[in-house]
Amino acid sequence: MRKGKIIVLSAPSGSGKSTIINRLMDNPSLNLRFSISATSRQPRGNENNGKEYYFLTQDEFKEKVDKDEFVEWEEVYAGTCYGTLKSEVTRITESEYSNLIMDIDVKGALNVKQKFGESALTIFIMPPSIEALEKRLRNRSTDTEESINKRLSKAEYEMQFSQEFDIIIVNDNLDEAVNSVTKAIKNYIECN
Ligand code: ADP
Ligand code: 5GP
């Protein structure tokens, strides 16, 4: 029996999704657990296996795909795969009375919605404009010029899918965006 609900956040890189998720995780009334994805990319900085991601080799990732162990998976960047393990969803939504929050790409989010229907709420975090997005990516100072350009051109593609999400929230003022996402999640949890 599924006890918890699934909340999925997607956004073009630099929109503020991680910042918003961190704020939501600090709100005990939402009772959220972060869904740890598997990825074939290398850990970055202080990332630890089993905390930010389950880090797998390409072969290990492929083996799990072949064994049908993923709810969804995507090659988000060329040669780098990310996916949500079935075991992760079961672990949280069937064994605890908490809600699972996923930070996954646009296609992954729509696949989760297709699989879980009313048991999942999909939220698209929209930047106020492409210019603002570019500024945030530059201010974050974590990406090379090439990476910024790759993320910006992908952003326009991703934004085309925004209408397919249950809710779109513009992250212009951060506090307002966090409030809107919080209200949407509370409303969803209480009414479903
Ligand atoms: P994402 O997870 O979507 O890639 P981040 O959460 O890393 O994005 O945010 C990208 C940058 O934008 C960070 O430096 C963050 O502090 C900043 N940021 C987030 N929300 C806002 C906002 N509403 N206004 C201005 N800057 C923001
Ligand atoms: P990063 O490498 O910056 O941590 O993440 C890159 C992208 O992969 C982000 O857009 C993130 O939302 C997406 N992502 C992370 N985990 C998953 C997952 O399990 N499935 C899918 N489809 N995308 C994911």
pLDDT tens for 108-164 read 999 999 999 999 999 999 999 999 999 999 998 877 888 888 889 889 999 999 999
Q: Decide: 75 in ligand 2 pocket, CB within 6 A.
A: no
pTM: 0.94
Q: Decide: 140 in ligand 2 pocket, CB within 6 A.
A: no
Best CA proximity match to 45, nearest among 58, 60, 57, 55: 55
Q: How remote is the CA of residue 15 from the centroid of ligand 1, in Å? A: 6
Residue nearest to atom 16 of ligand 2 (CA): 104
- CA–CA separation, 87 and 69 (whole Å): 8
Closest ligand 1 atom, CA of 139? 14
- CA–CA separation, 179 and 72 (whole Å): 29
- CA–CA separation, 7 and 103 (whole Å): 9
How much of the chain exceeds pLDDT 90, in percent? 75
